[in-house]
Structure 1
Amino acid sequence: MASEREKMEAGDWYSCLDPELDGLRRKARIACHVHNTMPPDERGAMAPALRALFGAAPGSAFLEAPFHCAYGFNLFLGEGVYLNAGCTVLDTEPVRIGAQTMLGPSVQLYCADHHRDPVLRARGLEIARPITIGADVWIGGGAIILGGVTVGEGAIVGAGAVVTRNVPSGATVAGNPARPIAPRG
């Protein structure tokens, strides 16, 4: 029988109330706390405890504080990625952020989705879908990207947008739900 972590990784329904998953989230909370409370001159681009937790985090990736992630090991950053203050990544599935991509303040990336049945939701049942963000993307402050979404290279996501569908490369989207708009010069 598959563990809850194995179910999560397979993209199946799993219980987030599992002790193993709780332990992994605790490890991430500790690493985020270290990053968020370390003096900026000591922390540098990213606290070593947080960098060690991530699936990939090159030295050129920069995370402002505060920052929060659910697990960390499912977060893969490209060269020169910048996450502004207040970003949250619920990385219950892989989250891949391409090189030179910038996330504005309080951007939220949510892989997890809870069950619609209230009885099953109360049991902690959720399902996870990956998020992929291409290279050279700009995501405006307060935007929300939902699980299963791919944002293509060079795209722009307007501040406050709620992205529920894939964004083609080079497109500009804004609004709730996010829709294509004509780029401004």
Structure 2
Amino acid sequence: MPKTEKQKMLSGELYDSRDPELLELYHKAKALLLAYNSLDSRNLEERASILNKLFARKGEGVWIEAPFFCDYGEHIEIGENTFVNTNCVFLDDNLIKIGKNGLIAPHVQIYTASHPIKASERIYQQEGGTRYHTSSKPVIIGDNVWIGGGAVIFPGVKIGNNVTIGAGSIVTKSLPDDVLAMGNPCRVTQKL
């Protein structure tokens, strides 16, 4: 039996993100996000309820500032007491796992999705129009991590525990525990 597009997506193979099953998951997440992003910030119970429906796992004490954006939600796991500031984008075409006690500043973008570099491999024609091949790799972020504003985390990156990432960094490679890292591309600048 051939794999579904969702199975291909989660296994890192090329997939069609406009597959009906994936679109339905996408639309479900967008409806939850619309409700979440329009709630009064004092409505803590409803905010928590929506995040529990959206995410695979949400630890106690998680706080996410609105607006927040993601593709599916169901591939996101966030540990206890993690704070996600405003205007963050989590493209969770694969697992995004964030540990406990994290600080994620405004405008941080976490990408699990990518496309082939060569246009001839990326773009293809299918009944109904032009499509784009996509692939995905998980992003794993450890405990006690602070990611500075505007940082971008690339697919397949693993960030260790107790890491601080400078604002505006472009994180293309994995980082070990207990480091300060920054820049474009992001590099370790100090052992903590």
Give the TM-score band, short-chain normalised: over 0.9
Decide whether the 8 Å contact of 2:65 with 2:86 is kept in 1.
yes
Q: CA deviation at 1:13?
A: 0.9
Bigger share in strand: 2
Q: What is the rounded CA distance, in whole Å, between the counterparts of 2:102 and 2:113 in structure 1?
A: 22
Structure 2 match to 1:170: 178
Q: Which residue of 2 aligns with 1:96?
A: 97
Instruction: Give, in whole Å, the separation in 1 of the partners of 2:188 and 2:31.
Output: 39
Q: In terms of Rg, which structure is larger?
A: 2
Structure 1: 5+ residue runs without aligned partners?
none
CA contact (8 A) 2:98 2:143 kept: yes
Q: Does 1:157 align with 2:165?
A: yes
Q: Counterpart amino acid of 1:136?
A: N
Task: Name the Cα RMSD after superposition.
Answer: 1.6
Could you tell me which amino acid in structure 2 is paired with residue 24 of structure 1? L
In 2, Cα distance between equivalents of 1:157 and 1:4: 34
User: What's the % identity of the aligned pairs?
Assistant: 35
For residues 46 and 96 of structure 2, the distance between their equivalents in structure 1, rounded to whole angstroms, comes to: 19
Following superposition, the deviation at residue 58 of structure 1 comes to 2.1
Question: Could you tell me which residue of structure 1 aligns to residue 118 of structure 2?
Answer: 117
- The residue correspondences of 1:63-78 to structure 2 (distance < 5 A) are 63-78=64-79
Structure 2 unaligned regions, length at least 5: 124-130
Q: Match for residue 147 of structure 1?
A: 155
Residue 8 of structure 2: aligned partner: 7
Q: How much does 1:116 deviate? A: 2.0
Task: State the partner residue of 2:142.
Answer: 134
Matches within 5 A, 1:43-54: 43=44, 46-54=47-55
CA distance in 2, matches of 1:113, 1:76: 20
CA distance in structure 2 between the aligned counterparts of 1:165 and 1:26, rounded to whole angstroms: 31
Contact 1:46–1:62 (CA<8 Å) still a contact in 2? no
**Aligned-residue offset at 1:182:** 3.0
Contact 2:116–2:122, Cα closer than 8 Å, also in 1 = yes
Equivalent pair of 1:45/1:64 in contact (CA under 8 Å): no
Classify 1:162/1:111 alpha carbon distance in 2 versus 1 (closer, same or farther; 3 Å). Answer: same
Deviation at residue 47 of structure 1 after TM alignment: 4.5
1:25 alignment partner in structure 2: 26
Decide whether aligned partners of structure 1 residues 164 and 45 sit closer, same or farther in structure 2, where only a CA change above 3 A counts.
farther
Q: For residue 27 of structure 1, give the secondary structure of its aligned residue in structure 2.
A: helix
Is 2:111–2:155's contact at 8 Å kept on the other side of the alignment? yes
What letter matches 1:77 in structure 2?
A: I
Q: TM-score w.r.t. structure 1 length? A: 0.94
> Structure 1 pair 20/183, CA: closer, same or farther in 2 (3 Å)?
same
Once the two structures are TM-superposed, the CA of residue 42 in structure 1 deviates from its matched residue by 1.3
